[in-house]
A and B are shown apart, each in its own frame.
Chain A
Amino acid sequence: MENIFQKWINRLLKNLFKKKQDIKLGLYGPPNAGKTTLANHISMDWIGEEMGSVSNVPHETREIQIKEQVTIKSGKRELTFNLVDTPGIATRIDYEDFLKAGMSKKESKKRAKEATKGVVDAIKWLDDMDAVVVVLDATKDPFSQVNITIIGNLQARDVPVLIVANKIDLKKSSLKRVSDAFPQYNVIGISAKEDINIDKFYEELFNLLE
């Protein structure tokens, strides 16, 4: 409890002296939910360059990626933040899964090692976030413990959260399943890949950060 109280005080002090442009917006979620696809979409829309590479093989993003001073606009409203794309959080990483994806043993072991470090870094960065977009794959079961743990932690740290149910263009997706799983949060369905509902997503970002 003392720890939570200390964090709350630190957060209050940090916010008091923080410039609006120093806001850190984190993208968190499990591997392969589409965090980097969304980060690339935001970055392309407002800066004209991509943030990172995407792949069907999990743990493609293994390092924290930051795009500074991203300014988004909607009518007269304007918002500037530092966009932080994080490696997917998982409880298991087996190099043999990468072997099955066609990588060599050496490559697989290297990727597994980098992926574990990526998860550790993503967790360390939780403390620094001012707001977080949790990106979930709308075709998957939203009740995974990783999702619940991430969102529960952000709630305990009093960090504003927007939940994005990504991949709603896919047949197996269900926005309702995600919304029902987290009824206390604002959940928006998008497809970062197919550019569906992104304008609504930006509107929700204003609501989250303003």
Chain B
Amino acid sequence: MSKSVGRSMARVDALDKAAGRAKYTDDLCDKAALATRIVHSTIAHGLVASVDCAQAEQVPGVVRIFTCFDVPDRPFPTAGHPWSTDPHHQDVADRLLLNRHVRYYGDEVAVVVAENEVAAAQAARLVKVAYNEYPFVLDVQKAMEPGAPQIHENYPGNILAHTQIRNGDYEAACKEPGLMKVEGWYDTPTVQHCHIENHVCTAQMEGGRITVTSSTQIPHIVRRVCGQALGIPWGKVRIVKPYIGGGFGNKQDALYEPLCAWLTTQLGGRLVKIDCSREETFVSNRVRHAIRTHIISWVRPDGSFAARKIECFSNQGGYASHGHGIVAKGMGAFPQIYPCPNVEGDAYTVFTNRPSAGAMRGYGIPQAMWAGESHIDDVAKALGREPGEYRRQIAMPQGFVDGFSKNENYYDSFREVMDKGMAAIGYGRKLHEYQNQTGPVRRGVGMALFWYNTAVWPISLESSSCRMVLNQDGSVQVQTGETEIGQGCDTAFAQMAADAIGIPFADVHIVSAQDTDVTPFGTGAYASRQTYVGGFALRQTGGILKDKILTCAAELTRQMKENLDLVDGKIVRVTDGRELMGLDELATETLYSLAHSQHITAESTYQIKNNAYSFGCTFAEVEVDIPMCQVKLLNIVNVHDCGKLINPALAEAQVHGGMSMGIGYGLSEQLLFDEKTGKPLNNNLLDYKLSTFMDHPHLQAEFVENAEPTSPYGTKALGEPPACSPAPAIRNAVLQATGVAINNAPMTPHVLFARFKEEGLL
């Protein structure tokens, strides 16, 4: 069947994007749109006492100023999860359009609407907000202490959620004689997605309905949230999602769309735009959860685990957003990646007065791998074992089935990816060469595995819908609810659709823009699910379309339908391979037939009740300049078993992007806050040290292509996994080079300076 799948087709959007023809939200916005500027809180926690707009309203060009006293008191949830009709599984509704109770420095207090950006900015600077200040707390464990400031009602100890793992009998198992105890605390930072296009949305009214155009990953979900936030029927809202400049999970939340939709209702339906600055994106959108993890392993002399304990403290920030799902996913990986019969786990998600944490590429797994894979190297060191060989002994075996998700490890993925990674970087030779170094500059090689699963089943709904429409020339429009956000899914979908129908790749026209009025329902782009989940609906809908085409072909060619096939856009008689007619001829004849005119279309929904493991690893080689407190990354290799590659070139690009994100996570990125005020200190791209390509060595991507049996195309997750294991691999390489274990990411020169001093290297 496969003619397009598996080949490195050029991206369907490449030329439009390179030539600047591709339209993004702001490109589509009429110049007459009203501009806005949000007034953010300048305290970390408190109540707004009053907002004085008198001076601001005098600025020429100001249309209206809305404050937290003007908006409806109707809390709504923002997380981009599929809605649950079960109230117990619904997201926490803790947001208002503007807030009187401000919960972080940068919370939304008021919004200026003006005829132009300059007037909006001038007026926003003149809005005077008076506060009743409350004490605030930034640290996750301090927020749990008795007497800590309470950030939300009904969440004692600021604990949004607490879940447990209790497998076997930890307390009894750790008393086994002869065990060694290895214990560590591991910390990860607050980081931001840093997609190139800041969040932007516009809204206007027509025919009593609101149209919101937004840079979002999840148009259908945003429609629901806007409906909930405004208290109007969901069908009164239409969301249009054009091309977007990345999201990485930040745009898997309703950000400013509800506020923008509400504003247009207050402004006579006029077009209004909310366009975030980079500074606002860092603070007032979403960030990655900073998670502190405590791990204890009770290890037998042979290296096997008798018992393990994990505690995770996840810093939620001011609002619930995606909430506990992140740390729950991270803790869930712990008993799977290195199976152990006796595991005790506790995960806490805790409100603090930091920016709200939401979804970000990896969804808890980069944090979990930082802790877990650092810890495995600490165990190996304590045992005197070589970390790679030790992982071979203890990593999840082939045939492992997870009790909850029913995910099965169909292949020996971990050992296969390790083999490939070791060969690629020359692991054994370098490991030997870099032993027992002295001197100021030392080299090391390290590794880390990662655990991932592809989609969200059985925690959430997985369904995908698809529509296909045949044109007179035999080409086909394809629409799905899964969104192109830069990751290349439009191209992968076109390849899968071409093969499912039996037409050339070039004859598939992917409708990239989503419009909830016309696009079939789908929950959007998140997890690492688009190619996997979309594949089911494309395969099924392609089959339906093809069946309809062959029915017409049988009529037109007077042949038995079962003897016909559609191959590369031609009706073929399978018994002798003869081409009977072109699909273009068939489509034209069928549409204009005076006897039996038919518009050939297909539409279907597929609900997926499977999920798929997706595993891999990173190998890193570093040079540590001890007096300079600097780590130079010399080589890095990611190896993924993500099933069959739909498009090898796009797969490689996806891995490069994730590795870059992982390098920044390990070495340089972190959002800093003033301890005295809670103010973010470095919410710009100069002071927030996103790694540049000068900081990267050659990024090497390797694949092990074990076909995923549950997928019609043999594929599984690759979107998030590349970001999961680079940071701990670099950390473990630094450990090999210097003997110094760094447990706090990112490993900045400041952290290295302190640790090298502690360890007597400086």
A binds B: no
Report which B residues bind A (CB closer than 8 A).
Answer: none
Report which A residues bind B (CB closer than 8 A).
Answer: none
